[in-house]
Amino acid sequence: MNTIEKVKSLIRKEFNIDDIADNSNLELELNINSLDRADLIYLIEDEFGVYIEDGDLYSFQTVAELANLIDSYLAAEQDI
C-alpha cells in the first residue's frame, strides 16, 4: 500500500469518513478541524515512524499534499 492509500485508510478509520479522494481538502471537505489534525499527525507519526515538525502542521491542505509531506520525511530519513 502506498503512502496516500495508507493516509486515506487512517482517515477512514479514525474519522469514519468513507469517500476520500486524493485531492480532498482536509478541513473543507473532510471536516477535519485543528484538533482532529493534531490527532491525525500523531497517528501518522506512529504509522510511518516519522516526526512531523511543528512548522509543517499546516503546510498541507489536501490528502495528497499530506502524503507528499510524509514521503519527503521518509526520503530525508533515508539520506541520513
Give the mean pLDDT per block of 10 residues along the chain (80 residues): 95 96 97 94 95 92 97 84
- The grid cell for 43 is 497517528
Residue in the structure block whose three cell numbers are 507519526: 45
What is residue 66's DSSP assignment? H
Which CATH superfamily does the domain covering 3-79 fall into? ACP-like (1.10.1200.10)
- The grid cell for 21 is 479522494
* Main-chain phi, psi angles of 28, to 5 degrees: -75, -40
pTM of the model: 0.92
